Amino acid sequence: MVNIAILTGGDSEERVISLKSGQVVFDHLPKDRYRCFMIDIQKSEWKDVLSGTEIDKNDFSLTISGEKIRFACAFAALHGTPLEDGKMQGYLEMLGIPYTCCNGFVSALTMNKHNTKMQMAQYGNRIPMAKSVLLHRGEVVDQSRIEALGLPLFVKPNTHGSSFGVSKVKSSEALMPAIEEAFRFDREVVVESFLPGREFSNGALRVNGEVVVLPVTEIIPDDEFFTFAAKYEGRSKEVTPAEISPELAAQCQANSKFLYTALQCSGVVRFDYILVGETFHFLEANTIPGISPASIVPQQAVAYGWPLGEFFALLIEEARRVHE
């Protein structure tokens, strides 16, 4: 029996989503192969959810009823800091514990929407993207420079997920309030030009060293964009596989494979797009995508032919294979 630490919780507003994701992993991993422990990471307190036992941070172990429990792998189900931004990975690597997500550098890079776009800009039009402006807290905002992108605009915290602090701005008067709202969640804010089109998402992972791209999902939100409520409260329709031509599906999947490889990703990563005309435009990468019952990647895994338990097991075994 292999001991697995399911990392969940976290220190950001995404904590509630992490706890749901962690529970899904705990419920679905095959119990005849894995002995699972949900480890709630919150500030300096790291505890096993069921027993309340604290983790020994010297070796990332648990001692329950006199038994010292060490882990063969850490399953990444923690959205936001301190895992999705890469802070924990170095600690796990120093202890020799495999983990089912991108390494610290790639996680930190992709958590930063602006830096990800800059990294991909070197490939020119291979990966089309929206035009954008980066703002820093405390600097004077040049509103005319931003409005030169054209209205409407999207305003987003630069290193935050789950659509917290995201606004669609349709007027000059609404711009500064939207920027102030985004700054509530981050020290940097990205303002992007609006891309008129349909929204799609596509996951990719490695299995035995080969990149496997999952079916494409179209997201049809009840609101004007994919808000928190659309993502987690049922205010959207998700169609998997997406009802698009084989050629468009192949284009999206080719982009995902290119992004996964170019960004040197590990584990399962979800890439979000807007389809403008016949061309997919890259929005952002999610290196620890939601795996709660309402999330997109589980839908894609099942559509591919993997029950969730098998899908989660593949992520664990790939992480352990790479670590050997």
Within 13 Å and on the Cβ side, how many CA atoms surround 109? 16
Q: For 95, phi and psi rounded to 5 degrees?
A: -90, -5
Order the strands of the 153-157 sheet from edge to edge: 132-136, 188-193, 153-157, 167-169
Q: Are residues 95 and 114 in the same domain?
A: no
CA–CA gap between residue 85 and residue 100 (Å, rounded)? 14
Considering only CA atoms, which of 101, 33, 72 is closest in space to residue 309? 33
Q: Please tell me what DSSP assigns to residue 140.
A: P
User: Which CATH number covers residue 156?
Assistant: 3.30.1490.20
Q: Are residues 189 and 225 in the same domain?
A: no
Domain that residue 184 falls in: 132-193
Q: CB under 8 Å to 188, separation ≥6 — which residues? A: 112, 114, 134, 135, 136, 137, 157, 158, 159
Cis-peptide, bond into residue 152, ω within 30° of zero: yes
Within 13 Å and on the Cβ side, how many CA atoms surround 18? 28
CA distances from 43 to 19, 20, 40, 94 (A): 15, 19, 10, 20
Q: Are residues 284 and 204 in the same domain?
A: yes
Q: Are residues 259 and 288 in the same domain?
A: yes
Contact 110, 262 (CB under 8 A): no
Q: Are residues 120 and 24 in the same domain?
A: no
CA–CA gap between residue 161 and residue 30 (Å, rounded)? 29
Contact 270, 285 (CB under 8 A): yes
Contact 230, 223 (CB under 8 A): yes
CA–CA gap between residue 173 and residue 156 (Å, rounded)? 17
Q: Are residues 255 and 146 in the same domain?
A: no
Query: Amino acid identity of 171?
Result: S
What pLDDT, on a 0 to 100 scale, did the predictor assign at position 161? 59
What pLDDT, on a 0 to 100 scale, did the predictor assign at position 223? 65
Q: Are residues 11 and 72 in the same domain?
A: yes
CA–CA gap between residue 120 and residue 116 (Å, rounded)? 6
- Which residue is associated with the tokens 């399911």? 6
Q: Please tell me what DSSP assigns to residue 72.
A: S
Domains of the chain: total:
3
What tokens appear for 224 in the block?
Answer: 């004007």
**What is the reported pTM?**
0.90
Which residues are the active-site residues? 14, 162, 232, 270, 272, 284, 286, 290
Q: Are residues 87 and 114 in the same domain?
A: no
Q: Are residues 119 and 262 in the same domain?
A: yes
What tokens appear for 98 in the block?
Answer: 């495999």
What pLDDT, on a 0 to 100 scale, did the predictor assign at position 224? 62
pLDDT tens, position by position, for the chain (324 residues)?
Answer: 999 999 999 988 889 989 999 999 999 999 999 999 999 999 999 999 999 999 999 999 999 999 999 999 999 999 989 999 999 999 999 999 999 999 999 999 999 999 999 999 999 889 999 999 999 998 888 888 898 898 899 999 998 755 678 988 998 889 999 999 999 988 999 999 999 999 999 999 999 999 999 999 999 987 665 444 444 455 678 999 999 999 999 999 999 999 999 999 999 999 999 999 999 999 999 999 999 767 899 999 999 999 999 999 999 999 999 987
Under DSSP, is residue 175 helix (H, G, I), strand (E, B) or coil? helix
Beta-bridge partners for 37: 5
Q: Are residues 235 and 304 in the same domain?
A: yes
Q: Are residues 189 and 227 in the same domain?
A: no
Q: Are residues 228 and 307 in the same domain?
A: yes
Q: How many helices (H) and strands (E) does the chain have?
A: 10, 15
